[in-house]
Amino acid sequence: MHLSKFPRIRLGHFDTPLEAMPRLSKLLGGPNLFIKRDDCTGLASGGNKTRKLEFLIADALEKGADTVITQGATQSNHARQTAAAAARLGMRCILLLEDRTGSRDPSYLHSGNVFLERLMGAPTRIYAGGTDMNDAMRVVAEEVRAGGGKPYIIPGGGSNAIGALGYVNCALEILTQANQQSLVVHHVVHATGSAGTQAGLVTGFEGSRSGIDVLGIGVRAPREAQEQSVFKLACETAEYLDMQGAVARERVVANCDYVGDGYGIPSAGMVEAVTMLARTEGILLDPVYSGKGMAGLIDLIRKGHFKPDENVVFVHTGGSAALFGYMSAFHAQLPDEIDTRNIR
Ligand SMILES: *Cc1c(COP(=O)(O)O)cnc(C)c1O
């Protein structure tokens, strides 16, 4: 796979570290857990969208665009990283946010990613849940054109064959690091949503014949629909790389048992996972994706899904900025009241 044939601009700090999590492994009684720190991509608090945006923004620039338009949920990490990428390139950025949770918690509506996007100068428009967001983006693109601008639409999550190249690249990076560390990777586990991350990883790991199993923990759709959308995008990505047929359908595996009450709605498992990682490894997960992904991994470990001597790499896809939009979900986990006697 010759990724340098595709236009790419550098936005992130790569390679991100591949590290052991000895305290978490011990607490759970094995397997050996490792973490790929894609929360450390460096773009305005980082995350998995940075890798995709390196290829997507390069394509936008090649097409002469001056304005990027994208969409996501209210606390979208993708929207935040897109705003940061646009700021770095001096492009305009318009964000369309869909109210998928119905939360009216002021911190959900104004803090976390929403605050950071506005800090970076991107106007945000919030739409009712269930809006056809692709259609809404087309309308905004027309407005930009009417004003003399040149819009470029990035799909939700940056998930198309161009964006997925970022995770083909991540698969190759993990393989190189594993080889350098003499680490045999048996499984890669991560949160899957708009499918680009898993499609890219599977294409990279299968295209290089690594034999590594990838498991996506779903955060929204049921299993069959999630696997289908990942498989479809993996096929498109393989074709874009001139590797038609590189990914077999049965190599796309998702587990969607950890969604809980719905996309972006806190679950008890997520709260446990976020708190556990914070307290055993000092690692901040997020409430919508990596928290539920880790909740799935923890539960599967407890059910004996992995052999005790296997090596499992969790890809930390970022998103900790969203924690500030979800503080209320964690109140019961926090130590007693803050002691303010000394400032009274
Ligand atoms: C977007 C996102 C994901 C999901 O990645 P997809 O490529 O959309 O499947 C996982 N974790 C975080 C923190 C994200 O922001």
Does ligand 1 come within 6 angstroms of the Cβ of 113?
no
By residue count, the chain amounts to: 344
pTM greater than the 0.95 cutoff: yes
Does ligand 1 come within 6 angstroms of the Cβ of 53?
no
Active site residue 182: no
Atom of ligand 1 nearest to the CA of 290: 11
Of the candidates 48, 52, 24, the one whose C-alpha atom is nearest the C-alpha of residue 36 is: 48
Task: Report the C-alpha gap between 210 and 192 in whole angstroms.
Answer: 21
Question: What value does the mean pLDDT take over residues 11-19?
Answer: 98
Average pLDDT, the chain: 97
Close Cβ partners of 247 (under 8 Å, ≥ 6 residues apart): 202, 203, 206, 207, 231, 234, 235, 238
Whether the pLDDT of residue 336 is over 90: the answer is no
For atom 1 of ligand 1, the residue with the nearest CA is 157
Q: Residue 124: what pLDDT?
A: 96
Q: Residue 48: what pLDDT?
A: 98
Percent of the chain predicted with pLDDT > 90: 97
Q: Residue 158: what pLDDT?
A: 98
Whether the pLDDT of residue 54 is over 90: the answer is yes
Task: Report the C-alpha gap between 28 and 272 in whole angstroms.
Answer: 13
Of the candidates 253, 214, 200, 204, the one whose C-alpha atom is nearest the C-alpha of residue 52 is: 200
Whether the pLDDT of residue 289 is over 90: the answer is yes
Task: Report the C-alpha gap between 2 and 237 in whole angstroms.
Answer: 13
Which tens digits make up the pLDDT trace of 136-193? 999 999 999 999 999 999 999 999 999 999 999 999 999 999 999 999 999 999 999 9
Whether the pLDDT of residue 339 is over 90: the answer is no
The 10 Å Cβ neighbour count of residue 23 is 15
Q: Residue 344: what pLDDT?
A: 82
Q: Residue 123: what pLDDT?
A: 96
